[in-house]
Amino acid sequence: MNLSTPNILPTPAHLVELERLGDAIAELSAHLDAATARLLDLIREFDARGGWGNGFASCAAWLTWRIGLDRGAARERVRVARALGSLPRLAQALARGELSYSKVRALTRVATPETEERLLKVGGAGTAEHVERIVRGWRRVDRIAEAQESTRRHQRRALHVYQDEDGMVVVRGRLEPEAGAVLMKAVEAGREALYRRRDDVSAETRPDGLPRTGLIIADDPPTLGQQQADALALIAETALHHGIDPGAPGERYQVVVHIDAHVLADADAPGQSVLEDGAHVSAETSQRLACDASRVVMRHDPDGRVTEVGARTRTIPPALRRALQHRDNGCRFPGCRLPFGQGHHIRHWGNGGPTTLSNLAMLCRRHHRAVHEEGYMVERQPEGELRFRRPDGRLLPHVPPPATVPTEPVETLRAQNDARGLHIDAQTSRPGWFGERLDLGYAIDVLHPLATSRA
């Protein structure tokens, strides 16, 4: 009996070439993921040290301006960078090119130091689609658990008020977190107002410390519990006195600032710049508020008595504001793009600047403060363009210059990863999936701590 060896046909050259091309793609992608890990490390450090705080509202806003990321992508980079700070295993897997950025981005939405190890195995075993599906299933379990806990808390809310045997009124209750936070803030405000007021009426007491009514009071100051009891009574009395309806929002949130005219013109000039309750604010802050506000001019005699009160007017009339909003279409600060803002006088009206469209620019609240209180400068060029400068005088361009790219970026990237001791090839990021169907329900039951605790 003759046994013959079967003929093994050689792999066609074009298939060999395609396989080589595929390996090159896989290897370079792993190199890019390793470089992304380094980029996220830098972003996390830059964010933690506040490097973006030079006129920008957040690290994501700075990334949008500086490296041209979409705003949503920039926020996601910052989120992932922060998350990886407490997830060292996922961070190392990305740095070695073993997990793609897409997988790590998904896993960081749900991973904690306690669940990181099992989710790392999910990332290594499945494709990016598998990871996304498992993360969605994981978050569903989290949301169900959160909703159940929220419902239980809501059902447990209660307030009991009853009179004790000695005539004292006892108050016992359980409030939901947000309601409890409001109550604690109100009690704190009431306590501060009540006992600050008591400090202010020391003239109503005799030198020996007793009230002029002759009633004897304890020498020891009230305890925190006693102060909070008094504050709660004050809150109830205030609510009944003023009515439960808080009134129109415009009146509730109105802030009144008193500032001398010459201080508006020159922040270094002597004079008052105070809130209605007497609290001092900087002249720069008052100038910022006066840029776009209601204005009432009052004249005083040498003794400080009001002799004349003018009608209330808007610094920027409504028609001019509409024109400003239409022209600027949001904040003009480089990299901001918020679609709403405040009118800023480039040359302040208190210093002779006209309230005209050419002397106005739209700035959001954050960047309006940056220009007035943080030393940033803005000027309009003869052709109408705005030019912003940092506090040290350096130009802040609307579009920053591009970074220098090496002549051979791929080889440079490989060399950098090799120098860090990374050994990356076409198999580094290959998942352990063999093509079987993902059983999502089973995967969540096995992986999620809450799911396994119910089993």
Whether the pLDDT of residue 442 is over 70: the answer is: yes
Could you tell me if 271 and 360 lie in one domain? yes
Torsion region of 233: left, alpha or beta (phi above 0 gives left; psi -120 to 50 gives alpha): alpha
Distances 52 to 44, 45, 68 between C-alpha atoms, Å: 11, 11, 15
pLDDT digits (tens, 9 = 90+) for 376-432: 999 998 888 899 998 888 898 888 877 776 778 778 888 888 888 888 887 887 777
CA nearest to 361, candidates 335, 383, 392, 385? 385
The predicted model scores a pTM of: 0.61
Contacts of residue 200, Cβ cutoff 8 Å, sequence gap at least 6: none
Could you tell me if 287 and 235 lie in one domain? no
62 in a structural domain: yes
High-pLDDT (> 90) share of the chain, %:
20
Distance CA 343, CA 363 (A): 6
Could you tell me if 262 and 204 lie in one domain? no
5 in a structural domain: no
Whether the pLDDT of residue 104 is over 90: the answer is: yes
156 in a structural domain: no
User: Looking at residue 165, what is its pLDDT?
Assistant: 84
Instruction: Look up the domain containing 267 and give its range.
Output: 257-393
Whether the pLDDT of residue 70 is over 80: the answer is: yes
Could you tell me if 101 and 57 lie in one domain? yes
Whether the pLDDT of residue 241 is over 80: the answer is: no
Could you tell me if 31 and 145 lie in one domain? yes
pLDDT digits (tens, 9 = 90+) for 134-173: 988 888 887 777 677 777 777 888 999 888 888 788 999 9
* Number of domains into which the chain is organized: 3
pLDDT digits (tens, 9 = 90+) for 167-220: 788 999 988 777 787 888 888 888 888 776 555 544 444 444 444 443 334 456
User: Looking at residue 253, what is its pLDDT?
Assistant: 42
| Per-chain mean pLDDT for the chain | 80
User: Looking at residue 4, what is its pLDDT?
Assistant: 58
User: Looking at residue 196, what is its pLDDT?
Assistant: 66
402 in a structural domain: no
272 in a structural domain: yes
CA nearest to 362, candidates 329, 334, 389? 329
Could you tell me if 303 and 182 lie in one domain? no
Could you tell me if 274 and 362 lie in one domain? yes
Q: How far is CA 366 from the centre of its chain?
A: 12
